[in-house]
Amino acid sequence: MDGTDEAPNLLTILVDAVLPLLKPYEFSLYMLLLRHTNFDGGEVRIGKRTISARLGKGTRSGGGNYQHITAKINELAAAGFIAVGDSTREGTRYRVLRPESIPAVREILAAQAAPTKELDYFTDPALRAELMERDHWTCHYCGEAVTEMTATLDHIIPQSGGGLSIPGNLTTACLSCNSIKSGRTYEEAAPHILAALVRRKAAAQA
């Protein structure tokens, strides 16, 4: 690896996208092989004796066989992290792929990079209903009950004033109060909302 500029990015990829895919010994084995390429990827020749000396055999049993190492090498190859080449007295030749060249890793990276779709609480019917349930189907301004036919959502801080369509800035309002408040703040619209409420109550008692 040339310089240190790539190191933080490589470390992030290893932790976020490689580690979740591999068992601990497989990850250590991949890191050992990648280290022997100076983290650039490419070919390396190394024997199982060297691997065992660096990592152990990965089992609690003793003895001189390297079946566990062979099995983990084969699993890394099957997962696309390495390709196994010929064997000589100097060891086995491996082609080691950089993490970003491995299909399974690239899938994880792509999923992590994909933008999270912002939930639209103002126009999505199901999300609108969630907020109205939260507000107990009651108008925030006049306190009267609303139904699916009369309920609306109002921006507490108007959109014209930079208000966002997020749960904390959306509240249930009846058609009348929402129409009166319109693009104003509650402080600006309160006298008109209260006057309309008085008129509605007077009309109901007449």
Amino acid at 32: L
SS3 labels along the chain:
CCCCCCHHHHHHHHHHHHHHHCCHHHHHHHHHHHHCCCCCCEEEEECHHHHHHHHCCCCCCCCCCCHHHHHHHHHHHHCCCEEEEEEECCEEEEEECCHHHCHHHHHHHHHHHCCCCCCCCCCCHHHHHHHHHHCCCECCCCCCECCCCCEEEEECCCHHHCCCCCHHHEEEEEHHHHHHHCCCCHHHHHHHHHHHHHHHHHHHHC
SS3 labels along 169-193:
HEEEEEHHHHHHHCCCCHHHHHHHH
* CA atoms 100, 105, 56, 45: torsion sign: negative
Query: pLDDT by residue (tens digit) across 67-112?
Result: 899 999 999 999 999 999 999 999 999 999 999 999 899 988 888 8
Amino acid at 113: A
Kindly indicate the confidence band of residue 126, based on its pLDDT and cuts at 50, 70 and 90: very high
Q: b/e for 42-59, b at 16 or more Cβ within 10 A? A: eebebebeebbeeeebbe
Is 0.85 topped by the overall pTM? no
What percent of the chain stands above pLDDT 90? 69
C-beta of residue 193 within 8 angstroms of C-beta of residue 180: yes
Mind listing the domains of the chain with CATH numbers?
7-113 (1.10.10.10), 125-205 (1.10.30.50)
Q: 24-35 vs 48-55: helix axis angle to the nearest 10?
A: 120
pLDDT of amino acid 63: 40
Higher pLDDT, 203 or 71: 71
**From CA 98, how far away is CA 81, in angstroms rounded?**
8
